[in-house]
Amino acid sequence: QKEVEQNSGPLSVPEGAIASLNCTYSDRVSQSFFWYRQYSGKSPELIMSIYSNGDKEDGRFTAQLNKASQYVSLLIRDSQPSDSATYLCAVRRRGYSTLTFGKGTMLLVSP
């Protein structure tokens, strides 16, 4: 069973702080990693993808990948109340088109 694990939360941070969301995966041949944001009652929206070890930055978001330790994280700098959502981690195994999703971490940013 290939698994993707996330802390369900909620993770509560004050406005302006850095939110750190973590994800671990069990399949060592995982190749591609994605973070989706899902507002309540809405569909997931892709916010970051990362394919190689290290950091990838896009605006206030930074994705970090460590394949040796099998974890991927998402940092949100200067968190805003509008960032309050559930963040889903997804992993693709090499040679496959499908993704395996974690159950998501709920983030709450208080004003």
Partner 1 sequence: DGGITQSPKYLFRKEGQNVTLSCEQNLNHDAMYWYRQDPGQGLRLIYYSQIVNDFQKGDIAEGYSVSREKKESFPLTVTSAQKNPTAFYLCASSIDAAGRGLSYNEQFFGPGTRLTVL
Q: Which is nearer to partner 1, 12 or 51 (CB)?
A: 51
Q: Round to whole Å and give the CA distance between 1 and 66.
A: 21
Q: Which is nearer to partner 1, 20 or 49 (CB)?
A: 49
Which of these, 62, 1, 44, 51, lies nearest to 26 by C-alpha position?
1
92 belongs to the binding site for partner 1 (CB under 8 A): yes
**Six-digit token string for 98:** 């499908």
Q: How far is the CB of 111 from partner 1 (least distance, A)?
A: 26
Pairing mode of beta strands 11-14, 54-58 = unpaired
Which of these, 29, 24, 34, 27, lies nearest to 2 by C-alpha position?
27
46 belongs to the binding site for partner 1 (CB under 8 A): yes
40 belongs to the binding site for partner 1 (CB under 8 A): no
32 belongs to the binding site for partner 1 (CB under 8 A): yes
Which residue from 12, 42, 54, 66 is in contact with partner 1, where contact means CB under 8 A?
42
Could you tell me the maximum CA-CA distance found in the chain, to the nearest angstrom?
44
Residues near partner 1 (CB under 8 A): 4, 8, 31-32, 34, 36, 42-46, 49, 51, 88, 90, 92, 95-99, 101-104
